[in-house]
Amino acid sequence: MRYPWWYVPFLTSPMLIAVVSVIHVLLAHYAVGGGMFLAVEAYYAYRRRNAPYLEYLRKHARFFMYVTVVFGAVTGVGIWWTIGLASPLATEVLIRTFVFAWATEWVTFVVELVTVFLFAYGFGRTAPRWHVAFAAAYAAAAWLSLVIITAITAFMLNPGRWIETPTFAAAFFNPQFLPQVISRTGGALMLCTLYVYLHTSFTVNDADLRDLVQRRSTRPALLGAVLICLGGLWWYAALPASSKAALAAASVLNLMMVGIFALTVVVFFALYVGPASHPGWLTPGFSLLLFLCGLAAFSTGEFIREAVRKPYIVYNFVTGNQLTIHDTKHVRREGVLNSYRWLHTYVRQHYPELIDSNGRVLYEKLPELAVKDRIELGRAIFLYCCNNCHAEARGYSAVGYLIHGWNRDMILRTIHHLHEADFFMPPWPGNAAEAELLADYLYSIAPEKPRGMLFGVPKEEESNER
């Protein structure tokens, strides 16, 4: 293990990644769909010589630029910052595997920045033909960026043939690639319309202009809802077996899946019955309600995509505790305290009596440590092996809640058989002595069973019996 751990109390680092990523995704998909909207509508407005509509597009382009370029770029950097700290090994694998794709994506990002400024500030200053061309170039670059990023995130969920044939083509065109491109393109179209509705309902007072914006922007959203459903069904069909099992085993994820399709259908019919058939329905309250429904559906989909990948970060290659499958076997032979560079340094500095002349940990001396030291060393092992998915006593997926009322023997047996007890979990990478240390720590934070239960045994009584 070449990297140190990153501790985020209560929330955990994966959830911090999720928060930043979901915000970025909601902005990035507007960047894609909004680019398409502005390109098509600028062409339409110039052909019809519709000056009021062009003025609206000018205002919307400024709003679009501030939202997507400013906030989108900041959250994009935030994703790199959080994944680099929370999942350094997985980030390294993605960089090495997709180095050409990342380079291409950076080119598309530069094209987006240049063309969006040229378009936003080109109203009245640029010939219509070139003005529309800038918008079209932006839309093409933004959609290509979506395709590239989608291929990389889809690879994490199902690398497909790459496991046996580690080539760029096998990684890029993975089984999840096309389903997610379809669903995300649909999401971009639908989210764009919801952003347009929100902006229009608060900024446009002219009824005829508002009706025109609704008519022009509703059909892409209806198409987007259809693409989301079709891509989502294909996404499920292309899931690896463990992800389908994880989805089936978690009731809350099943409810979320139903919620995504239900919200998408609700938005579809609200668009069809409302703005598509009755343009006068577009009010600030109606547009805000639709917008929140769209955000809820999209955010839920992102959460499910991450949740069903367990116990892997990159399916069948990098596990949730920042080890490759090959590394896990090596660490199990050598021991966690010997194999994790930063953890070994911690032991050498704080417990020099445990280190032999060759710099190796003397495992036979671990039982001689005081209980307080065993618990402290067990916590250090937890932070390296478990912190990537679990909080400690309290927080997101806190181990304290999961082992509520367990005795030490139950905890120790589960550590030795993690992946057998729950296939969401990677196998225990340490040896028997390190499992004892981890059990000591976990038992120290395990809450007691509630008082008054017929079969509840208070923790102190169990300790006395032992």
Extended beta strands in 37-82, E state: none
Q: Which two tokens stand for residue 186?
A: 């649909």
Residues of the chain with pLDDT under 50: 465
What lies within 8 Å, CB to CB, of 402 at 6+ separation is: 390
- According to the model, what pLDDT value does residue 394 have? 87
Q: Which two tokens stand for residue 283?
A: 């009010």
The whole-angstrom separation of Cα 122 and Cα 120 is 6
Q: Which two tokens stand for residue 191?
A: 């989210």
- According to the model, what pLDDT value does residue 45 have? 96
Q: Which two tokens stand for residue 104?
A: 């291409």
The whole-angstrom separation of Cα 406 and Cα 396 is 19
Cβ count within 10 A of residue 364: 9
pLDDT (tens digit per residue) in 416-462: 998 888 888 899 999 999 999 999 999 999 887 776 655 555 555 55
Strand partners, 319: 312
Helix axes 177-203, 51-65, angle to 10 degrees: 120
Helix axes 13-48, 51-65, angle to 10 degrees: 160
Structural domain boundaries in the chain = 13-319, 326-465
Helix axes 13-48, 128-157, angle to 10 degrees: 150
What lies within 8 Å, CB to CB, of 392 at 6+ separation is: 379, 382, 398, 399, 400, 445
Whole-Å CA distances, 376 to 4, 9, 12, 314, 383 = 17, 17, 20, 31, 11
Extended beta strands in 315-465, E state: 318-319
Q: What is the DSSP string of 230-276?
A: HHHHHHHHTS-HHHHHHHHH-HHHHHHHHHHHHHHHHHHHHHIIIII
The whole-angstrom separation of Cα 199 and Cα 189 is 16
For residue 374, the surrounding DSSP H or E stretch is helix 371-385
Pairing of strands 318-319, 312-314: antiparallel
- According to the model, what pLDDT value does residue 461 have? 55
pLDDT (tens digit per residue) in 126-150: 999 999 999 999 999 999 999 999 9
